[in-house]
A and B are shown apart, each in its own frame.
Chain A
Amino acid sequence: MTQETVDVLIIGSGHSGGMAAKVLTENGISCLMLNAGPVLDANKDAEPRPAAELPFRGFKQPGQLPHVFQANEFNANTWVDEKEIPYTYEAKQPYNWVRVRMFGGRSLFWSRQSFRLSDYEFKGKTHDGYGDDWPISLADVGPYYARVEAIFRVSGRAEGLPQYPDGNFVVDDRPWSGSMQRFADAGKKLGVPVTKARSSQGVDGLASSVNLLLPDAFATGKLRATPNVVVRELRVDKNTGLVNEVHFVDRLSRREMMVKARAVVLAAGTLESTRLLLNSGIANSSGVLGHYLTDQIYGAGVACSVPEARDGKAGADLMGGSALIPRFRNIDARHPKFQRGYALNIYSSPGGMDPKHFAAYGAELEQKLDSYRGSGFYTGLMGEVLPRKENHVRINKDVVDAWGIPVLHIDTKYTENEFEMARDAMETSVAIAEAAGFEVLAKNPVPNPPGYSIHELGTCRMGDDKRTSVLNKWCQSHDHKNLFVVDASSFVSGGWQNPTMTILALSMRASEYLAEQMRQGNV
Chain B
Amino acid sequence: MRRRDFVKAVLAASAAAPAAMSQQPAAVTPATPQMTPPAPAPRAAGPLPWTRGLREVKPLPMTPLVPDAVAETLTGFFTDRQFASLRKLCELMMPPMKGNPGALEAGAPEFLDFLIGASPGDRQQLYRGGLDRLESEAKQKFGASFAGVTAAQADELIRPWLRAWMSDHPPTEDFARFINLAHVDIRTATVNSQAWSDAAVRKGQSVPNVDLYWYPIDPETRQETRPETRRETQREARSGAGSRAAN
Q: Which residues of A approach B to under 8 Å, CB–CB?
A: 1-5, 37-42, 44-54, 56-59, 62-63, 66, 69, 73-78, 102, 224, 226-228, 252, 260, 299, 301-303, 354-363, 366, 441-444, 446, 448, 452
Contact = CB atoms under 8 A, between A and B. Distances in A.
B219 A38 contact: yes
Contacts of A228: 219
Given A52-B209, A260-B247, A355-B184, A441 B164 contact: yes
Given A2-B236, A50-B208, A366-B98, 4 more contacts: A52-B68, A58-B192, A302-B166, A356-B165
Contacts of A58: 188, 192, 209
Size class of B's contact patch? 35 or more
Contacts of A441: 164
A305 B169 CA distance: 19
B35 interface: no
19 contacts: A2-B241, A38-B222, A40-B217, A44-B222, A45-B215, A49-B211, A50-B210, A52-B192, A58-B192, A62-B120, A62-B123, A75-B212, A301-B166, A303-B164, A356-B184, A357-B164, A361-B93, A362-B95, A452-B168
Contact of B213 (A5, A48, A302, A442): A48
A62 B119 contact: yes
A156 to B, nearest CB: 27
Contacts of B92: 361-362
Given A1-B6, A355-B187, A444-B166, A56 B219 contact: no
Interface string B188-225: 11001110110000000001111111111111101001
Top-10 shortest CB links A-B: A3-B245, A51-B192, A359-B162, A62-B119, A444-B166, A49-B213, A5-B247, A57-B192, A442-B164, A51-B209
B192 A1 contact: no
Contacts of A448: 168
Interface in B105-131: 111, 115, 118-120, 123
Contacts of A360: 162
B3 interface: yes
B6 A59 contact: no
B8 to A, nearest CB: 11
A260 B187 CA distance: 56
B197 A50 contact: yes
A62 B115 contact: yes
A303 B168 CA distance: 13
A481 to B, nearest CB: 18
Contacts of A303: 164, 166
A272 B222 CA distance: 26
B166 A77 contact: no
B86 to A, nearest CB: 14
A219 B213 CA distance: 31
Given A46-B212, A48-B211, A56 B115 contact: yes
| Most chain A beta carbons < 10 A, residue from B118, B189, B213, B225 | B213
Interface in B231-247: 232-233, 236-237, 241-242, 244-245, 247
B241 A4 contact: yes
Nearest to B92: A362
B66 interface: yes
Given A46-B212, A228-B219, A3 B93 contact: no
B212 A362 contact: no
A229 B183 CA distance: 44
A51 to B, nearest CB: 4
Interface of B: 3, 6-7, 10, 66, 68, 92-95, 97-98, 111, 115, 118-120, 123, 158, 162-169, 180, 183-185, 187-189, 192-194, 196-197, 207-220, 222, 225, 229, 232-233, 236-237, 241-242, 244-245, 247
A56 to B, nearest CB: 7
Nearest to A378: B166
A75 B214 contact: yes
Contact of B111 (A46, A57, A444): A57
B72 to A, nearest CB: 15
A355 to B, nearest CB: 6
B229 A252 contact: no
Contact of B242 (A3, A53, A354): A3
Nearest to A252: B220
B215 A77 contact: yes
A242 B193 CA distance: 59
Nearest to A298: B168
A63 B116 CA distance: 11
B192 A363 contact: no
A46 B213 contact: yes
A477 to B, nearest CB: 22
A48 B213 CA distance: 6
Given A74-B212, A77-B214, A52 B196 contact: yes
B218 A38 contact: yes
Given A357-B164, A362-B92, A448-B168, A4 B219 contact: no
Contact of B217 (A38, A51, A442, A444): A38
Contact of A52 (B66, B115, B219, B247): B66
Given A52-B192, A299-B168, A46 B214 contact: yes
Nearest to A355: B187
Contacts of A3: 241-242, 244-245
A206 to B, nearest CB: 14
Contacts of B168: 69, 299, 448, 452
B162 A361 contact: yes
A77 B66 contact: no
Contacts of A39: 219, 222, 225
A78 B232 contact: no
Contacts of A54: 192, 213
A448 B168 CA distance: 8
| Most chain A beta carbons < 10 A, residue from B94, B166, B184, B216 | B166
A205 to B, nearest CB: 13
A76 B212 CA distance: 11
B2 to A, nearest CB: 12
Contacts of A37: 217
Contacts of B6: 1
B226 to A, nearest CB: 10
Contacts of A38: 217-219, 222, 225
